[in-house]
Amino acid sequence: MNSSDSTEKWLVGVDVGGTFTDFYARELSTGKAHIHKRPSTPKDPSQAVLLGLRELMDRAKISPEAVTRFAHGTTVATNALLQRKGADVAVVTTKGFRDLLEIGRQVRPSIYDLQLDAPQPLASRDLRFEVDERIGPDGQVIRALRDEDIATLIEQIAARPEVEGIAVCLLFSYLNPTHEAQLAQRLREAFPDRFVSVSSEIQPEFREYERFSTALINCFLQPEVSRYMDRLKRELSSIAPNAAVGIFQSSGGLMSVDRATLFPVRTALSGPAAGAVGAAGAGEKSDILNVITLDMGGTSTDVCLIRDGQTALSSVRDISGFRIRLPMVDINTVGAGGGSIAQLGPDGLMKVGPESAGAVPGPACYNKGGELPTVSDANVILNRLPENLTGGDMKIDRNLAIKAVQPLADKLGISIEKVALGIIGIVNSNMVRAIRAVSVEKGHDPRAFTLMPYGGAGGLHAADIALSLGMKRVLIPQSPGILCAEGLVISDLQEDFVASLHFPVDGDMQAGADVIQELTQEAKQWLAKEADNAVDTHMALTLDMRYVGQNYELAVELPPTNGTPQLPPLDALKDAFFETYRRNYGHCDTEAPIEIVNVRLRAVARLTQGASQAAAIQGKVEPFASQDVWFDEDAPQETPMYDRATLPAGTVIEGPAIITQFDATTVVPPNAQITVDGAMNMIMEFQNV
């Protein structure tokens, strides 16, 4: 391997997707960057990560010692949940609550499908054990936990050698974790080779079903994720011995490998959340802070709303039917990607997705064994994709795409181009619905936002989707296919703390002030332990608030502070709640009593990131080729093709046009104009919108 200058310091971000694993490297002092892609290896994601890292370092002439930080967005936890490939878990709970995980919220998974059952719990009923103890609703001990009951429990679990993990979930432990701590200590002593997850350690928050479910999922994932983390850390020590390893969590920040092993449930949306962070950073470069993202990859599309430069957050998420209650970037995912398969349903109508050709065998046009028609094949037939992808490492075979889509055209009795346009239209509709879910359905008008496509396929569909939503502007970042990996490099260390309590918003707010002080002390301890290399730190306070008598609450975010977080004046706090309530529901009652049910504190340690430097581009802007592209059913239009690497700042191109680059392709329709701004982002605007 070639050696870089010994004074160089490189940050590397690696994001694992369903089809490709993406790499982004940035040098701290100069800001120069290198990107790389290689096909994912679904059976063992670390193979693509480690092999691709070696390739990147070799091509960019980066010495092993020069890599100082390695940030990783992983899908190991997500895939384990989706495929139910995790540990055999025993659950320990309060007597009488053995079946809570099956009862759940008594909500049907599909209200109109009488045959569809809720997914089976991750722990079978015979592996759920009860202990005769009880903590009351005020945290008081109603029935003490006895040593003999713990001994009996240990005997019961010892008789089940298949158990790899134990989830401890007791009633009201978020108020008083004493009994859970007792059980955890004894179980860890009795079973040192088994994982023990404790609900009060993972998320000490009210609503027992969500807390129990989160603890169970965490324990279910621990063996698989810990093996992956151990393997990754071991291999990285030889490839990049000086690199501090950070794992991206669903809430939008990095954590250490050790914490990822303890709390793998936090990585359930690791990759998509990194893309949202990267999108916020790309928008900030162009002074565009209100963005709706469109992360379209090979298997799925993730959308997220970013307002005033901040990603929207949610505290509850269902993944594959399993409930997780943790802070997460509010991302809506649909099965719409370049590999989504088109087929005729029993009703004779065409459907696209959610089934995907994925990385293996992939779309037919990739010539890797795929034979079914996909969205990528449709784009190839419409001449929207160039012949070479990923810098020539992958060649597109148009004949194979035609062969895959032709049977649909024959069955429907229409031209193959019309079928391809239909496939594109259907997958676009799926993505439009996803965007409406994070915007219109939450009180935001998408027309007031800029659409930001990324992922390998986002730029192919962005113009059509923006026009469908009445959006006037599209921002295509400098490296859209690598944006998730770039988001990892610009991410900070982050930890979330929470306390549940019910107190009214009135003149006496001492209860809230006391809780904030306790959380602040916890945050300071974490910062002292984890953030010794931070450039600066800050804390942000969020209050879960609702009207008295309501069952669900809204998160009211307060401005971050470098000092000790404090409650704002009473009137300001009420106004913040009214504004949040009005935005979500269109109205509010300024006279009704309000209460706070959760206090959340986020501690952020900003890491050294370096400023990215785009290489200056000079010369005449000229297309390198042209081809007939189908934009509608009437006829194809001759369309010039440009290499984005040759477009300097200030370039203006009138549509139609196809703009290609190493990691993505952008379609500019006839009614659009695209401009390269000073940040080297491309801004697409439409006429007559």
Confidence of residue 3 (pLDDT cuts 50, 70, 90): very low
Do 191 and 91 share a structural domain? yes
Query: What is the arithmetic mean of pLDDT over 234-261?
Result: 92
Do 108 and 215 share a structural domain? yes
Reported as a single tens digit per residue, the pLDDT across 394-411 is: 788 999 999 999 999 999
Reported as a single tens digit per residue, the pLDDT across 489-500 is: 999 999 999 999
Q: How far is CA 104 from CA 205, 535, 672, in A?
A: 16, 44, 50
Chain centroid to CA 389: 25
Please indicate, yes or no, if residue 591 is contained in any of the structural domains: yes
- Is 50 in contact with 235 (CB distance < 8 Å)? yes
Burial class (CB in 10 A: 0-12, 13-18, 19+), 196: buried
Q: What pLDDT sits at residue 390?
A: 57
Mean of pLDDT over the chain: 91
Query: What is the arithmetic mean of pLDDT over 334-347?
Result: 90
Q: Higher-confidence residue: 615 or 196?
A: 196
Q: What pLDDT sits at residue 1?
A: 41
Q: What pLDDT sits at residue 107?
A: 75
Residue where a domain stops, chosen among 192, 220, 248: 220
Q: Name the residue among 565, 568, 560 with its Cα closest to residue 521.
A: 565
Query: What is the arithmetic mean of pLDDT over 350-376?
Result: 89
Please indicate, yes or no, if residue 28 is contained in any of the structural domains: yes
Number of domains in the chain: 3
Reported as a single tens digit per residue, the pLDDT across 614-645 is: 666 766 889 999 999 999 998 999 999 999 99
Q: Which residues, listed in sequence order, are joined to residue 313 by a DSSP beta bridge?
A: 329
Query: What is the arithmetic mean of pLDDT over 450-462?
Result: 94
Do 153 and 123 share a structural domain? yes
Q: What pLDDT sits at residue 191?
A: 97
Do 39 and 146 share a structural domain? no
Q: What pLDDT sits at residue 478?
A: 92
Q: What pLDDT sits at residue 614?
A: 61
pLDDT at 186 over 70: yes
Do 104 and 193 share a structural domain? yes
Please indicate, yes or no, if residue 23 is contained in any of the structural domains: yes
Confidence of residue 48 (pLDDT cuts 50, 70, 90): very high
Please indicate, yes or no, if residue 410 is contained in any of the structural domains: no
Q: What share of the chain is helix, strand, coil (3-state, %, to 5)?
A: 35, 30, 35
φ, ψ of residue 396 in degrees (nearest 5): -95, 135
Q: Is 353 helix (H, G, I), strand (E, B) or coil?
A: strand
Query: What is the arithmetic mean of pLDDT over 28-54?
Result: 89
Q: What pLDDT sits at residue 147?
A: 96
Q: Name the residue among 292, 326, 325 with its Cα closest to residue 311.
A: 292
Please indicate, yes or no, if residue 647 is contained in any of the structural domains: no
Six-digit token string for 442: 């939450």
Do 124 and 71 share a structural domain? no
Do 200 and 133 share a structural domain? yes
Do 50 and 136 share a structural domain? no
Reported as a single tens digit per residue, the pLDDT across 476-517 is: 999 998 999 999 999 999 999 999 988 899 877 888 899 999
CB atoms within 10 A of CB 191: 18
Please indicate, yes or no, if residue 543 is contained in any of the structural domains: yes
Do 39 and 94 share a structural domain? no
pLDDT at 2 over 80: no
Q: What pLDDT sits at residue 106?
A: 77
Q: What pLDDT sits at residue 85?
A: 86
Please indicate, yes or no, if residue 392 is contained in any of the structural domains: no
pLDDT at 612 over 70: no
Q: How does 399-430 read in b/e, with b if 16+ C-beta sit within 10 Å?
A: ebbbebbeebbeebeeebbebbbbbbebbbeb
Do 94 and 74 share a structural domain? no
pLDDT at 536 over 90: no
Q: What pLDDT sits at residue 44?
A: 86
Percent of the chain with pLDDT over 70: 97
Q: What pLDDT sits at residue 613?
A: 64
State the residue range of the domain holding 158: 85-220
Token match 């989706």: residue?
Answer: 82
Please indicate, yes or no, if residue 161 is contained in any of the structural domains: yes
Query: What is the arithmetic mean of pLDDT over 679-686?
Result: 95
Percent of the chain with pLDDT over 90: 69
pLDDT at 579 over 80: yes
Q: What pLDDT sits at residue 162?
A: 95
Reported as a single tens digit per residue, the pLDDT across 56-78 is: 999 999 999 999 999 999 888 88
- Is 403 in contact with 396 (CB distance < 8 Å)? no
CATH of the domain at 120: 3.40.1360
Residue where a domain stops, chosen among 181, 199, 220: 220
What pTM does this model have? Answer: 0.87
Do 242 and 194 share a structural domain? no
Q: Higher-confidence residue: 29 or 220?
A: 220
Do 190 and 118 share a structural domain? yes
State how far the Cα of 133 lies from the Cα of 95, in Å rounded to an integer. Answer: 7
Residue where a domain stops, chosen among 590, 606, 622: 606
